[in-house]
Chain A
């Protein structure tokens, strides 16, 4: 990328042509590198080309490594995306065309990766049951259910085990043999996928624990070799009672899966109880409808179920309106109070007669400079009814976090503390950008100071600050951190842990999705899409208003 401007500068110096033609020449020369093959400028251009090539190769190397990892993980969509990014880099930067794209591409990739992709992913998730207990594919879930039901056969021995291959075959690819020693009588067996065979004890050396150390006709594998072989870990030596499986490096046990899956009927049967489980809505549930389903489920599409749940759930329906009302009130009051205080301070500290402004202004910004979550925790402890600073200093006993209105007030106070420095900064900036002539003209017209503020200063400040207020509104509307750290959405009405008095839609959605027995990402995604739509609509209305303000100007 760096090569492009270098080439441009070089060609400009070589061709000091005036006016519009310059652009044409820059492009013309830049596409013909051979036109400047001599002199120090040419050397710089070559250096630029070399640097560009190195950067392209480096970018492609990153792409290749990432793609390799994704292929290993079997993530083909990822491979496709990474491949597309690699192609784009190559096409845009390896040629001398597409100059605007050279500047836009990094931003575009980041926009797609960090903004568009999460939104699309959330939207897609909203139509599934994705969540704890439904993270797997059906095949994985079924396999896990069967594998997790393997129980040791009662009374079976724990074999001492060594893993070997036939002498002469390759330790990594040769057919694995489990050399198993029965601890009861010291007999040694050779276990393979075909079953268990007795071994002639002659020539076999064993450790004190019974583990075979060497056996004629076999090459023993090292720990590293055993570990690298998936086929050894998955090996089952079938026996009449079940199967012998390795566990760790030197032991094997005889186990039997109590659950069996019948692919024809898609029914899992628990052999120990005879209970049958049928596949339904991403889980295996008891066929007779009694008792629990099996824990591992899989991801299925549920259509509009998550949205329907939000609309039809009585708790959600009743809670939504009160939460929404407080959410709007909190965002409006929060932004308005912070703006009011910030503006007031900005006006005060903008007075030319005030000395030491730099010091005051730096102090004002301090609350903004501290990490917000630390401030939130400090405020939370200051609002403690018995031990908090606020009640102790003011000699009152307000139950700040136990009373709904007190809790709301406490949040607005903390929000004000966190929010006014930002407003102070932007208002100071806006004030300083108002040209002095405007005030002079007003003074000539004989305007009073108050009128000047209301008719000149404020409208001019609002023009530049208006859009920021809208953005602040959207941020405050979704200020999860402050609510979560200070009140956790509470206080809650007795006997109701789903709707708190200070819940915002976002904290409410969080609890809704994660308060059940299993976190439900599908439902959470559906709620966040609704919140997204709401905030988008509110912000749109806000931006319309601030645009009107500009027209006044």
Chain B
């Protein structure tokens, strides 16, 4: 799909553009940029930005105010680091509550309702799992985050300019601990389990034996193939807190700092990839809501799923793009797994995680 637009662009400017697919763009690009032989433009997730900037692999793009205004503010925030915009976003992605409508016809408003109805289904033998969230023995911070965010907790506090502040780690803040307590509580009820992880979770949902599933657009294809009737709704809210807000992931086009074709690379990314036509077309490939508002409106009008995914992400904050976030994933995940398995109290687990995160960031 991208090749089509690349070819059109190439023809217009009398050059050749090759679209290359890599299995590990993040690492390959870092290595290729070092030798000065990498691609001119790369497509990737926004949370690679921190390390790309550290290693001077990407250049800031001075986007005009008009262009910026056309994008979702959260997508622009995701592409911004140290007050510079480093890429043109084209899609946003977040998790939502996917339910098997054969088991759960109505979307629950609160987590308590969800747990109650899910456990009732398990008790009656209609379901094996009340709720599917990937945890695994090592935990999963990305999926643990919405529990923390429901109470205003999370990974990092924010700077005055709205960017994440690596100096303010809030992993063991009172707000985050409230979320951890919820994890402990539903872990005790066997609603969450460290035996459910990325390797078996799709199979569990697609067997039709689980009413609720926290997941993203990537899981839908196989569910459709398995013949599951599903519906997508925002994550529930938690009593005593607010709505569970997932992390927002943004896909974007970066321009390499080492490109030998800076002019054309910028032209391609800013003037071609930011067009409504291209963003609409890219939706067809990835099935993720476009980051350009106009393109989203057009796509959402004819696609209920994309509208549902998008609405589940309204108000969500982007995954931190600062490089310090690397130090967070491991410790928070471990704390989550320990709390769910009942190996550790929420306070103790998240205090330990906070300590490790701060040390990791200090180590640089």
Contact = CB atoms under 8 A, between A and B. Distances in A.
Interface of A: 73, 132-133, 135-136, 140-141, 144, 147-152, 158, 222-224, 226-227, 232-233, 245-251, 253, 255, 283, 291-292, 295-297, 377, 380-381, 384-387, 401-402, 487-488, 490-492, 494-498, 511, 515-518, 520
Contacts of B263: 223, 226-227, 232-233, 246, 248-249
A125 B62 CA distance: 36
A515 B266 contact: no
Contacts of A487: 137
Nearest to A131: B364
A495 B137 contact: no
Contacts of B59: 147-148
A176 B259 CA distance: 20
Given A150-B62, A518-B323, A73 B35 contact: yes
Given A148-B60, A227-B261, A496-B352, A222 B51 contact: no
Contacts of A495: 334-335, 338, 344, 348-349, 351-353, 356
A227 B195 contact: no
Contact of A386 (B15, B37, B83, B193): B193
B95 interface: no
A224 to B, nearest CB: 5
B306 interface: no
A283 B323 CA distance: 15
Contacts of B351: 495
B84 interface: yes
Contact of A490 (B137, B199, B262): B137
A292 B62 contact: no
A227 B270 CA distance: 15
Nearest to B335: A495
B352 A517 contact: no
Contact of B262 (A150, A233, A496): A233
B36 A73 contact: yes
Nearest to A72: B36
Contacts of B3: none
A136 B33 CA distance: 11
Given A135-B55, A402-B341, A497-B353, 11 more contacts: A132-B51, A135-B56, A223-B13, A227-B13, A227-B264, A248-B271, A253-B62, A291-B167, A487-B137, A488-B138, A518-B54
B14 interface: yes
A251 B62 CA distance: 10
Contacts of B55: 132-133, 135-136, 296
B158 interface: no
Interface of B: 12-15, 34-37, 50-51, 53-56, 59-62, 64, 82-84, 137-138, 166-167, 193-196, 199-200, 204, 257, 261-264, 266-267, 270-271, 323-327, 330-331, 334-335, 338, 341, 343-344, 348-349, 351-353, 356, 360-361, 363-364
12 contacts: A133-B323, A151-B83, A245-B62, A246-B263, A249-B13, A295-B82, A490-B138, A495-B349, A497-B330, A515-B327, A516-B363, A516-B364
Given A248-B267, A255-B62, A515-B360, A387 B324 contact: no
**Interchain residue pairs A-B with the least CB separation, the first 5:** A495-B352, A248-B267, A494-B344, A516-B363, A223-B13
Contact of A222 (B14, B50, B53, B360): B14
Contacts of B353: 495, 497
A50 to B, nearest CB: 36
A247 B266 contact: yes
B56 A296 contact: yes
Given A384-B195, A496-B352, A518-B54, A152 B62 contact: yes
A291 B166 CA distance: 9
Given A226-B263, A233-B262, A517 B324 contact: yes
Contacts of A222: 14
Contacts of A292: 166-167
Given A248-B270, A516-B360, A518-B364, A494 B62 contact: no
